[in-house]
Amino acid sequence: MKKFLIGLFLLPSFVFAQDCGNYFYLTNNGQVQMKVYDKKGKESGTQTWKITDVKKDGKAVVSTVNASFTDEKGKELTKSSGSYRCENGMLKADVRMSMPQEQMQAYKDAEGQVETVYLEYPAKLTTGQSLNDADFTMNLQMKNGVGTTKVSFKEVNRKVGNKESITTPAGTWEAYIITYDATFRTEIGGIGIPFQLSGKEWFVPQLGIVKTETYNKNGKLIGSSVLSSITK
C-alpha cells in the first residue's frame, strides 16, 4: 500500500530557487499523518512521517524521513527510514517508503545494508506520460538466527492518468492519478514468495501524494490511505 505523505509548508529560499515548490518531504521538522483503511473501508492504522536533516547536496535538496505505522489501537507495528531528493523540480522518493507495510512487519527487527532506489515525480505532468520504473532489493539478517532473507520490490508500468479534484481531511487539490503495477517478493534459501498488486496514487504537482488505493492481482481493492493531518 502506498504510504507517501505531503503537506503545505513554506520551504527555505534555496529550495524555491531550484523549482522544488512545496514538497512536504523537504520541510525540516515537519510531520504528517495518513489514515490507512482496509478493503471494507475500515480504519486499520496510521502512517506517520517525520522529516529531518533537510540540506543541500550539490544542486539538489535532500531530506531524511523517519516513518512509523501504528494499528487502530495505537500500537507501533513497523518503523523505517528513507530519503527524498529534489532537483530542478523533480521529486525523487525513496522506494522503501512505498513498500507494503503489512508484509514488512515480519522483518521489523532485521538488519541489512541497502542501496537507495528512487521513484521519480516530475514537476510537470501530462496525461498519458510514462514515469520511471523502480527495482529495489535488500538482504536482511534476521536477529532470531534464521539467516538471510532477500526482499525485493518492483514498481513498473507507471502511467499518468487524468487530473481530478481530490478532497481529504487535510485539504482539497487538483491531482493527477498515477497508476502502477508492483511485485513484492521474499526469498529464503532460494525459494521466493511473490505478492502481486497494482495501485493508484493521487499526485499533486510540486506538492506530493494525497491519496492511494491498492488492488490485488484480480483487481479487487485491498486497501487505501488519505492524507489526514499536518503539523509543523
DSSP β-bridge partners for residue 221: 215
For residues 115 and 226, give the distance between their C-alpha atoms in angstroms, rounded to a whole number. Answer: 29
Residues with Cβ < 8 Å from 1, sequence gap 6 or more?
A: 36, 100, 101, 102, 199, 212, 214, 222, 223, 224, 225
Separation of alpha carbons 33 and 47, rounded Å: 6
pLDDT of residue 142: 62
Looking at residue 17, its pLDDT comes to: 36
Going by pLDDT thresholds of 50, 70 and 90, the confidence category of residue 157 is: very high
pLDDT tens track for 78-94: 888 888 999 888 999 98
Return phi, psi of residue 67, to 5°: -120, 145
Mean pLDDT, residues 35-42 = 93
Q: How many CB atoms lie within 10 A of CB 194?
A: 12
Total Cβ atoms within 10 A of residue 84:
25
Q: Hey, what amino acid is at 189?
A: G
The answer to whether residue 148 scores a pLDDT higher than 90 is no
pLDDT at 156: 96
**Residue 193 vs residues 146, 152, 188: alpha-carbon distances, Å:** 17, 10, 9
Nearest-CA neighbor of 89 among 59, 57, 63?
Answer: 59
pLDDT at 21 over 70: no
Average pLDDT value over all residues in the chain: 81
Phi, psi dihedral angles at 175 (to 5 degrees): -125, 150
Which pLDDT does position 197 carry in this prediction?
92
Contact criterion met (CB below 8 Å) for 15 and 24: no
Cα 203 → chain centroid: 11
| Alpha helices per DSSP H over 22-85 | none
Residue 76's pLDDT band (cuts 50, 70, 90): confident
Per-residue pLDDT tens digits for 110-144? 566 677 889 999 988 999 999 999 998 877 766 66
Reply yes or no on whether the pLDDT at 30 is more than 70. yes
- Beta carbons within 8 Å of 4's beta carbon, 6+ residues apart: 93, 97, 98, 201, 208, 209, 212
Number of alpha carbons in the 13 Å side-chain half-sphere of residue 232:
8
Q: Write down the pLDDT at residue 13.
A: 32
**Residues 7/24, Cβ–Cβ less than 8 Å:** yes
